[in-house]
Amino acid sequence: MNENKYTQDRQTDRQTDRQTDRQTDRRLISILVPCYNEEAVLRQFYARTSEVIQGIPDYDFEFVFVNDGSRDGTLAIMRELRAQDARVSYVNLSRNFGKEIAMIAGIDYLQGDAAVIMDADLQDPPELIPEMISWWEKGYDDICAKRRSRAGETFFKKWSSHTFYRILQHLTNIPIQPDVGDFRLINRQCLNAIRLMRESQRYTKGLFSWIGFNKKEILFDCEARAAGQTKWNYWKLINLAIEGITSFTIAPLRAASFIGCLLASISILYMVYIVTYTLIYGGDVPGYPSLISIILFIGGVQLLFLGIIGEYLGRVFNESKFRPLYLVKDYNGKVMIDQKEERQ
C-alpha cells in the first residue's frame, strides 16, 4: 500500500525528521485526542492506551493531543508526557474552539497512515484498537465504533440522541450512522478527504458519512467517563443538532415553501368562500375569534420560517468570512508565529 505517499507540503516538512528513524515498511497509526480540561483523566488515558498499543508490535504509534484551550493543567500534562515519550505530540490551540474544530486541527497535524480518534475520558475503550486495525488490514477505510450500550448516560440523553438521528436520517440522502460517535480508525485517504472540507461550522460525524468510502461498524459498550466532568450540556447538544441538520440538508427550507404554498391555497379558498357568503347573505359581524386565531397562526408560522431562513443565512455569513478554522499557539513547544493555515 502506498497510502503514505501523500504529498502535503506542511506534513512532509514535519515528517522528515520522523521518517529518518522510521522503517519504511512499518506503518504509523496516530492516536488523536482532543482535550479540554482533562487533567483528571489524561494520565490515566495515556497509561491505558500505551498498554494496549504495546500489544501491537507490528505498527508504530504516535499520540497527537490537541489542547483545546484548557484552563486547567492539561497542557502541563501533555508537555510532561512528551518529555518522557517521543511518540507524544501536542497541538496547543490559542483558545477553546470546541471539539469539532479541535479534531480538524489534530487531523491537519497528525502524520500517520491512519488515525484513531478518541475521547480523552476513556469512554472509548482503547482495547478496541487491535480489532479496528484488523479490519483496516482487510481493506476497510473507515472503521467506526458503534455504541451497543451507553453507560452513565441518562434516559433522556439516549432518547434525544436516538430521535435526532432518526429525524436527520429522514431529512438527508446521506446515510448517517446512528449511535456512531467520533471514535473510529480512518485511513489516510479518508483523512485527506476530511481535510478538504474547511467549513467552519463543522458537524464531523456527518462529514465522515458524507465522504463515503468503505465503512465497517464494530460494536462496543460505551463506558462511563473515567474521571472529570463532561463538557456537554443540553444547550450544546441542541446546537449541535441544529448544526447537523442545517449543514446537511435544506429540507427545512423546502418544508417552509411547501407549508407556505399550502397555507396560501387554503387562504385563497377561504377568501373566495367569505366573499361569496357576504355577497349572498350580507355582512356578518361575529367571526372575531376565528379571525384572530388565523392571524396568530399565520404570524407564528411566518416567524418560524423566518427563523429557519435566518439559520441558513447565518451559516452563509459565517462561512463567507473565510477565517482560519483555528489558531495554533504552539506545536510541541514550537511557537507558531506564522499560522500558514492552508485553505483548499
Residues that bind Mg ion (CB under 5 A): 119, 121, 123
Beta strands (DSSP E) in the chain are: 28-35, 60-67, 88-93, 114-117, 142-150, 180-187, 215-222, 328-331, 334-335
Q: Of Mg ion, ligand UDP, none, which one sits near residue 132, judging by CB under 5 to 8 A according to partner kind? A: none
Question: Is the Cβ of residue 147 or residue 215 nearer to ligand UDP in the bound state?
Answer: 147
We find the least distance from the C-beta atom of residue 25 to Mg ion, in angstroms, to be 36
Name residues whose C-beta falls within 8 Å of residue 71's C-beta, 6 or more positions apart in sequence: 37
With 0-12 CB in 10 A as exposed, 13-18 as middle and 19+ as buried, what is 291?
A: exposed
Residue with Cβ nearer ligand UDP (68 or 142): 68
State the binding partner of 38 from ligand UDP, Mg ion, none, CB within 5 to 8 A by kind: ligand UDP
Question: Among ligand UDP, Mg ion, none, what does residue 276 contact (CB within 5–8 Å per kind)?
Answer: none
Q: Which is nearer to Mg ion, 124 or 142 (CB)?
A: 124
- Work out how close the CB of 97 gets to Mg ion at its nearest, in angstroms, rounded to a whole number: 18
Strands 142-150 and 215-222 turn out to be: parallel
Using the minimum distance from each CB to Mg ion, give the nearer residue, 91 or 122.
122
Which of Mg ion, ligand UDP, none does residue 183 bind (CB under 5 to 8 Å by kind)?
Answer: none
Instruction: Report the distance separating Cα 87 and Cα 178, nearest Å.
Output: 33
Partner from Mg ion, ligand UDP, none contacting 78, C-beta within 5 to 8 A by type: none
Closest to ligand UDP by CB, 44 vs 96, is: 96
Nearest to ligand UDP of 3, 153 (CB atom): 153
113 vs 121, beta carbon nearer ligand UDP: 121
Q: Tell me the closest approach of the beta carbon of residue 187 to ligand UDP, in angstroms.
A: 22
Under a CB-based contact definition with an 8 Å cutoff, are residues 129 and 53 in contact?
A: yes
109: helix, coil or strand?
helix
CB of 308 to ligand UDP, least distance (A): 27
**Residue 68 binds which entry of ligand UDP, Mg ion, none, CB below 5-8 Å type-dependent:** ligand UDP
Whichever of 232 and 258 has its CB closer to ligand UDP, that residue is 232
List C-alpha distances in Å: 265 to 288, 292, 343: 22, 19, 47
Please enumerate in sequence order all residues whose Cβ is within 8 A of that of 294, keeping only pairs 6 or more positions apart, or say none: none
Least spacing, CB of residue 48 vs ligand UDP, in Å? 14
94 contact choice in ligand UDP, Mg ion, none (CB below 5 to 8 Å, kind-dependent): none
List C-alpha distances in Å: 13 to 3, 113, 153, 195. Answer: 17, 16, 43, 17
Q: Each residue of 123-135: b (16+ CB within 10 Å) or e?
A: bbbbebbeebbeb
Residue for grid cell 498499543:
53
* Cell numbers describing residue 144: 467506526
CB of 239 vs ligand UDP, minimal distance in Å: 12
**Closer to ligand UDP by Cβ: residue 6 or 232:** 232
Residue 318 CA, distance from chain mean position? 17
Question: Shortest distance, CB of residue 123 to Mg ion, whole angstroms?
Answer: 4
DSSP codes of every residue in 130-153: HHHHHHHHTT-SEEEEEEEEETT-
In the complex, least distance from residue 96 CB atom to ligand UDP, rounded to whole angstroms: 5
With beta carbons less than 8 A apart as the criterion, state whether 224 and 152 touch: yes
How far is 207 from 1, CA to CA, in rounded Å? 25
Give me the residues that bind ligand UDP (CB under 6 A), please: 34-36, 38, 68, 96, 98-99, 102, 119-121, 123, 230-232
Residue 98 touches which member of ligand UDP, Mg ion, none, C-beta under 5-8 Å by kind: ligand UDP
Task: Compute the least distance from the CB of residue 87 to ligand UDP, in Å.
Answer: 19
Q: 100 contacts which partner out of Mg ion, ligand UDP, none, CB within 5 to 8 A by kind? A: none
